């Protein structure tokens, strides 16, 4: 147990970074007085020979990136141990490494994890968050040159869970980072998928889906820092919202620095409002300091159900309820299909179906 | 033998300036095995007739009736109409992202037939129908109408016609956007379904071109929201020669 000793100040809600977040519902994680225990919360369910798993003292393994996110700073402050997962150089994992995180206490906890991917390694890691949580955590990914990592983060928390999280990748020369974030559970989830590059020829592909129902607050704040030349990034987040006071927030910040010639970036956020009373905030930001780029663009759409799609399906005898389900599954299929795991795909779609049925959308 | 009977059908659509009447009393009876061509100039209300029968929510029925073997079609939901035996081949089939043709066809067939088709026979059935329409097998893995060419969309409509086996098909400008080869393949598909199932057809078209492939028993000229002249196939020849001028200026 530890309380803060530094001159940390809790956010007031007026800060740009916190203006959408209902601070009263973050389980005290941001209050200096709250006791937060550090926890090594992750276990590997299918250990593999090319993967080292260790828990080391926080002082031996300090954070590798800068952050001004208060939830992250709190986590760094209070934890005493860091979980370190290393993918060996040149390793080619034949199956995804599954990380389970469940059985948290439901009391304020913090966790920090570093995932290091060796030179020219190739791996898929799937993090499965479930159960209860009041958690602030940080993942850092260190991709050596030529590494290829697909990181799937599944937020399948129960209905009371609170989860504040940063997932930050530093992508080396010619390395590729694919992030797939799926947030369907939790009372309040605020997740920051962020990337920076440490060498040219690198690329980031950040995909996500969220499905918010009655009273859920699901917030994703992306930040792509194009700080090297000739890097590429793609962002594609899709969300659906149904039920009273369902709230989704998507922020997509892309920063192209003056030295980042040859940058190629595009970000997209699409929201589907399935009922009244739901609200989606979508804010793409593109800041460009050099004109010598391949391309930079963004798009954001928030729309209601497409009646023409429903009519088309219904006119083939498909009942309206099944037609809606097909359209929603179809809307998410683009993202879910990228996980390339049928069991997870079915589990997620079943959960979405069940939540839809619950809100009667 | 089935009968689709349209009596005094009046239909309006909501616009910015209020309701606009589009159909002004349409009378038309189609029996199984009959092909009726509905021909008329653009904007005469042909497509409105098609969509109103199928139940598109954009249109408001203000008068008249549509019955299928005596059952009140207008009281049915959209899917119920399809289950009752109506099929609308659309002029602009809608894209449904993320839903594969395979999944869509099977879901539709399950709904129409009241039970899921047996996997083994179903796969063969779909393959055969696709082959007959000159469709590539990878077509089934694509998303419904997404990125389809005009010709592919129309073939996909006729594929559904073959698999869902309705009593009556409304073909809304199925010939539009088709080159000669595609028109022939699509028409042959319609004729094949008709010869196998005694399908009744309402063939909506602007041009007489498709009538060379799908022979109508009756031709109805549609203008300003109603049928203004009726006859046999010879009426189409007259339209080919003289156009719609006499109906639009009258």
10-residue mean pLDDT profile of chain B (250 residues): values are: 97 90 97 97 94 96 98 98 98 94 96 94 94 92 94 96 97 93 95 95 94 96 96 93 82
Return the exposure string of A41-54: e unless at least 16 CB atoms fall within 10 Å of the residue's CB, then b: bbeeeeebebbeee
- Chain B residues lying within 8 Å of A317, measured CB to CB: 79, 82-83, 108, 111-112, 164
Q: What is the CATH number of the domain that holds B45?
A: 3.40.50.300
A229 three-state secondary structure: coil
Choosing among B56, B59, B78, which should be mutated to test the A contact, i.e. which has the most A CBs within 10 A?
B78
| Chain centroid, CA A346 distance in Å | 20
Provide the whole-model pTM: 0.87
Instruction: State residue A198's pLDDT score.
Output: 97
Q: Are B36 and B44 spatial neighbours (Cβ–Cβ below 8 Å)?
A: no
Q: Do A312 and B112 touch (CB under 8 A)?
A: no
- Chain B residues lying within 8 Å of A330, measured CB to CB: 96-99, 143
Q: Are A291 and A259 spatial neighbours (Cβ–Cβ below 8 Å)?
A: no
Closest-CA distance, B95 to chain A, in angstroms, reads 7
The answer as to whether B120 is a domain residue is no
Q: Which residues of A touch B (CB under 8 A)?
A: 306-309, 311-320, 322-323, 326-327, 329-334
In this prediction the ipTM stands at 0.96
Each residue's pLDDT, cut to its tens digit, for chain A (361 residues) gives 444 455 567 899 999 999 999 999 999 999 988 999 999 889 999 999 999 999 999 999 999 999 999 999 999 999 999 999 999 999 999 999 999 999 898 899 999 999 999 999 999 999 999 999 999 999 999 999 999 999 999 999 999 999 999 999 999 999 999 999 999 999 999 999 999 999 999 999 999 999 999 999 999 999 999 999 999 999 999 999 998 999 999 999 999 999 999 999 999 999 999 988 999 999 999 999 999 999 999 999 999 888 999 999 999 999 999 999 999 999 999 999 999 999 999 999 999 988 888 877 6
* The two structure tokens encoding residue B195: 């010869």
How many structural domains compose chain B? Answer: 1
- Using CA atoms in the order B180, B181, B186, B191, what is the torsion angle rounded to 10 degrees? 90
C-alpha to C-alpha distance for B132 and B144, rounded to whole angstroms: 19
CB-based contact, B165 to chain A, within 8 Å: no
CB-based contact, B98 to chain A, within 8 Å: yes
Choosing among B52, B85, B98, which should be mutated to test the A contact, i.e. which has the most A CBs within 10 A?
B98
CB-based contact, B114 to chain A, within 8 Å: no
Strands (E), A305-346: none
Residues sharing a CB contact under 8 Å with residue A271, sequence separation 6 or more, in sequence order: A238, A239, A240, A241, A248, A250, A280, A282, A301, A302, A303
Instruction: State residue B181's pLDDT score.
Output: 92
Note the pLDDT tens digit of each residue in B123-175. 999 999 999 999 998 999 999 999 999 999 999 999 999 999 999 999 999 99
CB-based contact, B204 to chain A, within 8 Å: no
CB-based contact, B14 to chain A, within 8 Å: no
For the beta sheet containing A295-304, the strands, ordered from the edge strand earlier in sequence to the opposite edge, are A43-44, A97-101, A122-131, A148-157, A176-183, A203-212, A232-241, A264-273, A295-304
Choosing among B103, B105, B107, B112, which should be mutated to test the A contact, i.e. which has the most A CBs within 10 A?
B107
Instruction: State residue B1's pLDDT score.
Output: 92
Where in the sequence is the domain holding B220, given as residue range(s)?
1-91+151-245
Nearest CA in chain B to A325: B99
Q: Among A307, A317, A329, select the one facing B111 at the smallest CB separation.
A: A317
- Chain B residues lying within 8 Å of A308, measured CB to CB: 94
Nearest CA in chain A to B165: A316
The answer as to whether B65 is a domain residue is yes
Domain chopping of chain A, boundaries: 16-305
Q: How far is CA A84 from CA A49, A56, A141, A143, A191, in A?
A: 15, 7, 10, 14, 20
Closest-CA distance, B94 to chain A, in angstroms, reads 6
Nearest CA in chain B to A326: B99
| Chain centroid, CA B103 distance in Å | 22
CB-based contact, B78 to chain A, within 8 Å: yes
Choosing among A306, A314, A323, A345, which should be mutated to test the B contact, i.e. which has the most B CBs within 10 A?
A314
A59 three-state secondary structure: coil
B20 three-state secondary structure: strand
- Chain B residues lying within 8 Å of A333, measured CB to CB: 97-99
Q: Among B82, B98, B144, select the one facing A315 at the smallest CB separation.
A: B82
A347 three-state secondary structure: helix
Closest-CA distance, A333 to chain B, in angstroms, reads 5
Return the exposure string of A308-331: e unless at least 16 CB atoms fall within 10 Å of the residue's CB, then b: bbbbbbbbbbbbeebbbbbbbbbb
Nearest CA in chain B to A330: B98
- Chain B residues lying within 8 Å of A334, measured CB to CB: 97-98
The one-character DSSP state at A157 is: E
Strands (E), chain A: 37-38, 43-44, 51-57, 81-87, 97-101, 108-117, 122-131, 134-143, 148-157, 162-171, 176-183, 188-197, 203-212, 217-226, 232-241, 247-256, 264-273, 279-288, 295-304
Choosing among A307, A312, A322, A348, which should be mutated to test the B contact, i.e. which has the most B CBs within 10 A?
A312
Q: Do B98 and A329 touch (CB under 8 A)?
A: yes
Instruction: State residue B249's pLDDT score.
Output: 66
CB-based contact, B77 to chain A, within 8 Å: yes
Q: Do B98 and A330 touch (CB under 8 A)?
A: yes
Q: Do B94 and A326 touch (CB under 8 A)?
A: no
């Amino acid at each position: 147990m530890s309380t803060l000793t530094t001159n940390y100040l809790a956010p007031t809600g007026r800060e740009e970074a916190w203006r959408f977040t209902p601070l009263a519902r973050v389980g005290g994680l941001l209050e200096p007085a709250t006791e937060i225990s550090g926890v090594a919360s992750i276990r590997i369910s299918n250990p593999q020979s090319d993967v080292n798993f260790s828990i080391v003292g926080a002082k031996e393994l300090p954070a590798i990136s800068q952050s001004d996110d208060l939830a992250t700073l709190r986590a760094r402050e209070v934890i005493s141990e860091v979980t370190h997962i290393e993918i060996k150089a040149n390793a080619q994992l034949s199956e995804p490494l599954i990380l389970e995180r469940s059985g948290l206490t439901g009391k304020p906890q913090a966790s920090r994890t570093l995932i290091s991917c060796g030179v020219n390694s190739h791996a898929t890691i799937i993090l499965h968050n479930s159960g209860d949580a009041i958690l602030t955590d940080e993942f850092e990914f260190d991709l050596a040159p030529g590494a290829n990592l697909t990181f799937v983060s599944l937020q399948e928390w129960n209905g009371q869970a609170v989860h504040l999280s940063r997932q930050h990748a530093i992508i080396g020369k010619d390395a590729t980072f694919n992030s797939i974030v799926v947030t369907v559970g939790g009372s309040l989830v605020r997740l920051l998928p962020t990337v920076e590059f440490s060498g040219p020829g690198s690329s980031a592909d950040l995909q996500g889906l969220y499905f918010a129902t009655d009273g859920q607050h699901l917030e994703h704040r992306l930040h792509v820092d194009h700080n090297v030349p000739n890097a590429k990034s793609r962002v594609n987040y899709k969300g659906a919202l149904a039920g009273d006071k369902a709230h989704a927030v998507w922020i997509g910040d892309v920063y192209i620095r003056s030295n980042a010639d040859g940058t190629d970036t595009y970000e997209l956020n699409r929201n589907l409002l399935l009922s009244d009373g739901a609200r989606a905030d979508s804010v793409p930001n593109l800041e460009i300091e050099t004109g010598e780029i391949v391309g930079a663009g963004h798009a954001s759409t928030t729309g209601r159900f497409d009646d023409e799609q429903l009519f088309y399906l219904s006119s083939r005898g498909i009942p309206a309820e099944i037609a809606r389900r097909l359209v929603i599954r179809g809307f998410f299929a683009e993202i879910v299909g990228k996980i390339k795991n049928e069991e997870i795909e079915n589990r997620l779609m079943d959960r979405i179906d069940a939540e839809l049925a619950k809100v009667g959308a | 033998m089935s009968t689709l009977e349209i009596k005094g059908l009046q239909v309006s659509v909501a616009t910015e300036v209020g309701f606009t009447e589009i159909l002004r009393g349409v009378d038309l009876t189609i029996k199984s095995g009959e092909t009726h061509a509905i021909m008329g100039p653009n904007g005469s209300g042909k497509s409105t007739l098609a969509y109103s029968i199928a139940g598109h929510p954009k249109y408001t029925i203000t008068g008249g009736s549509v019955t299928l073997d005596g059952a009140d079609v207008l009281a049915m939901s959209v899917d119920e109409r399809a289950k009752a035996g109506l099929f609308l081949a659309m002029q602009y089939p809608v894209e449904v992202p993320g839903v594969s043709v395979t999944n869509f066809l099977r879901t539709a067939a399950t709904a129409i037939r009241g039970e899921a088709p047996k996997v083994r026979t179903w796969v063969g059935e779909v393959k055969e129908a696709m082959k007959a329409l000159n469709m590539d097998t990878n077509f089934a893995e694509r998303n419904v109408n997404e990125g389809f060419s005009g010709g592919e969309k129309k073939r996909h409509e006729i594929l559904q016609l073959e698999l869902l086996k309705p009593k009556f098909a409304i073909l809304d400008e199925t010939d539009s956007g088709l080159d000669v080869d595609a028109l022939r393949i699509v028409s042959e598909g319609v004729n094949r379904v008709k010869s196998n199932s005694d399908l009744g057809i309402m063939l909506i078209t602007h041009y007489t071109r498709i009538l060379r492939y799908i022979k109508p028993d009756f031709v109805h000229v549609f203008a300003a929201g109603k049928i203004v002249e009726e006859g046999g196939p010879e009426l189409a020849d007259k339209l080919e020669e003289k156009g719609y001028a006499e109906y639009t200026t009258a």
